[in-house]
């Protein structure tokens, strides 16, 4: 049996773990990334590909009665829940609701703002170093509205966003047709957010970042994070031929992070919002130029390299419950009316789980009671966006540099 040594073990090779590994490596640390599968095959594979630097208001729990009643009936496409799993998620939903007051929403927005503003800049640097410029498109994305009420609400949100330094272009139906000639529907208007980046292969981007990490001398190993245990002077993880030991370990396991923090006694309220996707061939070589969110119908179409990816909103269920892709079933017929979608590329939809804390902020920083244990998880709807920026923040904290953003709102202590 052999014991291998390194400076830092990063558990989880999604966008969050790979980005943290790269930032630590840039600061002179010997880093080993450990995952039970290849980099970028977890949640980071299946998202909508948006580097969402325009999304400055977090997705909080709705507080108006109309929305609450709609969701309670469980017939909408944007939100679905598995009633049988209610005991597992209702206590979390109560905390989410409580964190979603207007003041709480603005607190979370202001805390995340420096990370969001940094998000595309950090990706651009890594994309250039990884040599994959074709994986970043500067199209922005379009949010479509079909009712006057939802357009009016969005215009009010646009004003708030403008106050935070983010601008969007309001489109009337003619302007929508000019930008996306093949869309069909009775739209009241749309907002084009021009600044977000679009990644047409999110899993491929994580692989490209992991390749860059390996080219620079980093190692990517298969392993099970659940074998983590304290060792003399640090932490140890099981390997087929023995063990890997490091002084520091980073938990970047996305929705599975509780596998490590719970046995160590941390009661961090990590919940999940599950989400599905499925790819479709475009009919007659139809081209979708931007990712498009059909806001009133609750789904998004994104022109990925693999095909047109339809992604769904949130499903509340146990993380590991069997798939119940009713949101795919409800939205595909509507999406076919919006855009000429051909046959499905995969027989079954993909299922993933957005890792969420009730205040919609990630946990970044040291574990309060275990020296050498660091947290970097809970990136909710914006993990692809925030992975590199939070990787920088974590690496700065671990190496004693001055952090570029105030880390206090992300501390695990906020739940003690
Ligand atoms: C439908 C959908 C659409 C989305 N759209 C967007 C978007 O447009 N823009 C955006 O910014 N974000 C989006 N997101 C959110 C984003 O995808 C996530 O926040 C992000 O992928 C989380 O990254 P992560 O690295 O924390 O987790 P993951 O990518 O899940 O990585 C965690 C890793 O841990 C590994 N792991 C788990 N258990 C173990 C174990 N025991 N041992 C070893 N390894 C283990 C897994 O294999 C996995 O590779 C979307 C999410 C969904 C579901």
Model confidence at 65: pLDDT above 90: no
Angle (CA) 110-116-413 rounded to 5° is 55
CA distance 322 to 318: 9
Angle (CA) 228-230-234 rounded to 5° is 105
Per-residue pLDDT, 5 = 95
Task: Please tell me the distance between residue 178's alpha carbon and the centre of ligand 1 in angstroms.
Answer: 35
Task: Please tell me the distance between residue 152's alpha carbon and the centre of ligand 1 in angstroms.
Answer: 33
CA distance 362 to 357: 7
- Give 73's pLDDT tier (boundaries 50, 70, 90): confident
Secondary structure (3-state) at 195: coil
Task: Please tell me the distance between residue 26's alpha carbon and the centre of ligand 1 in angstroms.
Answer: 23
Task: Please tell me the distance between residue 203's alpha carbon and the centre of ligand 1 in angstroms.
Answer: 10
Model confidence at 104: pLDDT above 90: yes
Model confidence at 89: pLDDT above 90: yes
Task: Please tell me the distance between residue 19's alpha carbon and the centre of ligand 1 in angstroms.
Answer: 12
Name the residue with the closest Cα to ligand 1, atom 51. Answer: 47
Per-residue pLDDT, 156 = 93
Residues in contact with ligand 1 by the CB-under-6-Å rule are: 12-17, 34-37, 41-44, 46-50, 52, 224-226, 252-256, 259, 275, 277, 311, 352, 354-355, 377, 379-385
Name the residue with the closest Cα to ligand 1, atom 15. Answer: 381
- Give 99's pLDDT tier (boundaries 50, 70, 90): very high
Model confidence at 191: pLDDT above 90: yes
CA distance 24 to 16: 12
Secondary structure (3-state) at 132: coil
Per-residue pLDDT, 228 = 98
pLDDT per position as a tens digit, 20-63? 999 999 999 999 999 999 999 999 999 999 999 998 989 888 88
Residue partners of 320: CB distance under 8 A and separation at least 6: none
| Structural contact between residues 57 and 157, judged by C-beta atoms closer than 8 angstroms | yes
Per-residue pLDDT, 2 = 87
DSSP state of 62: P
Per-residue pLDDT, 77 = 86
Residue to mutate, 354, 356, 360, ligand 1, most ligand atoms under 8 Å from C-beta: 354
Instruction: Give percent above pLDDT 90 in the chain.
Output: 91
- What are the structure tokens assigned to 168, written together? 């969007």
Model confidence at 131: pLDDT above 90: yes
Name the residue with the closest Cα to ligand 1, atom 21. Answer: 44
Residue 170: other Cβ atoms inside 10 A: 13
| Kind plus residue range of the DSSP H or E element containing 197 | strand 197-198
Residues in the chain, overall count = 416
Per-residue pLDDT, 166 = 93
Task: Please tell me the distance between residue 13's alpha carbon and the centre of ligand 1 in angstroms.
Answer: 9
CA distance 147 to 43: 32
Per-residue pLDDT, 64 = 82
| Secondary-structure breakdown of the chain: helix, strand, coil percentages, each rounded to the nearest 5 | 40, 25, 35
Task: Please tell me the distance between residue 74's alpha carbon and the centre of ligand 1 in angstroms.
Answer: 26
- Give 296's pLDDT tier (boundaries 50, 70, 90): very high
Least confident range from 74-83, 115-124, 197-206, 250-259: namely 74-83
pTM for this predicted structure: 0.97
- Give 214's pLDDT tier (boundaries 50, 70, 90): very high
Task: Please tell me the distance between residue 46's alpha carbon and the centre of ligand 1 in angstroms.
Answer: 8
CA distance 318 to 307: 29
Closest by CA to 310, choosing from 323, 297, 324, is 297
pLDDT per position as a tens digit, 255-291? 999 999 999 999 999 999 999 999 999 999 999 999 9
Secondary structure (3-state) at 139: coil
- Give 76's pLDDT tier (boundaries 50, 70, 90): confident
Name the residue with the closest Cα to ligand 1, atom 26. Answer: 254
Per-residue pLDDT, 285 = 92
CA distance 385 to 7: 27
Per-residue pLDDT, 63 = 83
Closest by CA to 251, choosing from 239, 262, 243, 260, is 260
| Atom of ligand 1 minimally distant from the CA of 224 | 42
Angle (CA) 366-392-212 rounded to 5° is 120
């Amino acid at each position: 049996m052999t014991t291998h040594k390194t400076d830092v073990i990063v558990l989880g090779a999604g966008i969050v773990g790979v980005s943290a590994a790269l930032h630590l490596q840039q600061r002179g640390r010997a880093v080993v990334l450990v995952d039970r599968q290849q980099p970028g095959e977890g949640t980071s594979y299946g998202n909508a590909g948006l580097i969402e630097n325009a999304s400055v208001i977090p997705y909080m729990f709705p507080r108006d009665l109309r929305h609450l009643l709609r969701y309670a009936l469980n017939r909408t496409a944007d939100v679905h829940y598995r009633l049988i799993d209610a005991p597992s998620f209702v206590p979390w939903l109560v905390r989410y609701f409580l964190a979603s007051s207007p003041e709480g929403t603005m607190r979370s927005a202001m805390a995340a703002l420096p990370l969001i503003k940094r998000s595309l800049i950090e990706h651009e640097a890594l994309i250039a170093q990884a040599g994959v410029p074709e994986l970043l498109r500067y199209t922005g994305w379009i949010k479509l509205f079909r009712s006057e009420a939802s357009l009016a609400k969005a215009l009010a949100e646009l004003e708030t966003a403008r106050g935070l330094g983010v601008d969007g272009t309001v489109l009337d139906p003619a302007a929508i047709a000019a930008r996306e000639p093949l869309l069909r529907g009775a739209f009241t208007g749309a907002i084009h957010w021009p600044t977000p980046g679009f990644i047409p292969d999110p899993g491929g981007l994580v692989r490209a970042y992991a390749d860059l990490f390996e080219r620079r001398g980093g190692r990517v190993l298969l392993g099970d994070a659940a074998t983590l245990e304290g060792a003399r002077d640090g932490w140890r993880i099981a390997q087929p031929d023995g063990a890997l030991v490091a002084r520091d370990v980073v938990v970047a396991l996305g929705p599975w992070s509780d596998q490590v923090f719970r046995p160590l006694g941390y009661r961090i309220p990590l919940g999940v919002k599950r989400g599905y996707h499925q790819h479709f061939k475009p009919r007659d070589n139809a081209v979708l130029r931007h990712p498009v969110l059909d806001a009133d119908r609750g789904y998004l179409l994104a022109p990925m390299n693999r095909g047109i990816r339809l992604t769904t909103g949130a499903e509340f269920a146990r993380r590991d419950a069997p798939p119940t892709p009713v949101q795919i079933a409800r939205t595909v017929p509507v999406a076919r009316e919006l855009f000429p979608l051909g046959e499905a590329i995969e027989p079954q939809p993909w299922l993933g789980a957005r890792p969420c804390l009730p205040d919609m902020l990630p946990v970044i920083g040291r574990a309060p009671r275990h020296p050498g244990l660091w947290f970097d998880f809970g990136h909710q709807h914006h993990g692809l966006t925030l992975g590199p920026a939070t990787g920088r923040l974590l690496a700065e904290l671990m190496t004693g540099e001055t952090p570029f953003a105030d880390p206090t709102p992300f501390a695990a202590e906020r739940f003690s």
